[in-house]
Structure 1
Amino acid sequence: MKTFRPLAIALTLSLVAQAAAAMGMESRSQSIKSHAPPGITDEFYACVDRADSDTNAAANCLTEEHTRQDDRLNAKYRALLGKLSPKAKDELINAERAWLKFQEKNGELESSVYGSEAVANIQVTQNEIFRICERANALDDYLFMANLQ
């Protein structure tokens, strides 16, 4: 996975939050939540609000949520592997390899489209976390169906 640029991301989060507060807009976490898939943790939203203008704390929020979502994805993947027939296991493994390749290529595309500015870094990182969450949600749906059989 792509290496985080935590300080640039945290700085951008801080600037966005300050601008939103100055304009009387919603909190940083509310803004993120309005675009987030189900499964992004309450811990992340609380962390983002606590971080306020502390760039190191904001960077930690992003890093921690990435780890939580990645761990969640891996747990769903392992659980699903344990429920599938040999043929379905092979299909899952191939699908995950393709998804990882997509994740890598999509990150490269976003980096080239958004550029290398701090605002771009936050968008690319947020998108990556959201895609991991969405994939974990999809594997959870498959796991639900596998448990019915």
Structure 2
Amino acid sequence: MPTIRTFTLPLALVLMAQVTVATATDSRSQDIKRHAPPGITDAFYTCVDKADSDTNAAANCLTDEHTRQDKRLNVTYKALMSKLSPKAKDELIHAERAWLKFQEANGALESSVYGSEAVGNLQVTENALFRVCERANALDDYLFVVNLQ
């Protein structure tokens, strides 16, 4: 009688082959979407597909999206500040300052890990973009809760 171990390796190989085939046919934007937070704009994904393997164009896509997400973060931050009590405002200010310090420290770490080559720089920039989007999402959630009260 076959054991589970006998089926595990062939199943793993089949799954790996399917993932490899799917990845080979996916566009760059589809690959990014799999690990991107909600809130990244369609304009970014369109830009990335147009950039294809041009690292300068891809860097421009990341920079443009970072600008959009940073603006979104700031608009949401201001809206949230206008709704909070004085104590909660102080806590938000403290949290944002800590988050900015984390962003700076984490960016330095990632630069050390990924190196200064173009691909590494793109990865560091993408990670920073995703963190800004995630923070904007979190502030959106807080604003939603505050508006319910």
Q: Aligned equivalents of 1:39 and 1:144: distance in 2?
A: 15
Query: Which piece of structure 1 moves more, 51-60 or 78-87?
Result: 51-60
Query: Which piece of structure 1 moves more, 48-57 or 59-68?
Result: 48-57
Aligned: 1:141 with 2:138: no
Q: TM-score, normalised by structure 2?
A: 0.81
CA spacing shift, 1:53–1:120, aligned 2, 3 Å? closer
CA spacing shift, 1:54–1:112, aligned 2, 3 Å? closer
Q: Which has the higher contact order (CA 8 A, sep 6+)?
A: 1
Which one-letter code corresponds to 1:91 in the other structure?
A: E
Q: Aligned equivalents of 2:127 and 2:59: distance in 1?
A: 15
Cα displacement (A) at 1:54: 4.2
Q: Aligned equivalents of 2:56 and 2:125: distance in 1?
A: 16
Q: Aligned equivalents of 2:30 and 2:72: distance in 1?
A: 23
Aligned: 1:87 with 2:94: no
**What residue is the counterpart of 1:105 in the other structure?**
105
CA spacing shift, 1:27–1:36, aligned 2, 3 Å? same
Q: TM-score, normalised by structure 1?
A: 0.81
For structure 2, the 5+ residue unaligned runs are: 1-19
Larger Rg: 2
**What residue is the counterpart of 2:12 in the other structure?**
none
SS at match of 2:24: coil
Cα displacement (A) at 1:35: 0.7
Cα displacement (A) at 1:25: 3.0
For structure 1, the 5+ residue unaligned runs are: 1-19
**What residue is the counterpart of 1:34 in the other structure?**
34
CA spacing shift, 1:35–1:143, aligned 2, 3 Å? same
Q: Aligned equivalents of 2:41 and 2:97: distance in 1?
A: 26
Give RMSD over aligned pairs: 1.6
Cα displacement (A) at 1:62: 1.2
Q: Aligned equivalents of 2:54 and 2:121: distance in 1?
A: 17
Q: Deviation above 6 Å: which 4+ runs of structure 1?
A: none
**What residue is the counterpart of 2:116 in the other structure?**
116
Deviations 1:84-126 (A, max 9, x none): 0000000000100000000000001111112222221111111
Q: Aligned equivalents of 1:79 and 1:53: distance in 2?
A: 39
**What residue is the counterpart of 2:8 in the other structure?**
none
Cα displacement (A) at 1:63: 1.2
Alpha-carbon contact 2:55-2:118 (below 8 Å) kept: no
What is the count of residue pairs matched by the alignment? Answer: 128
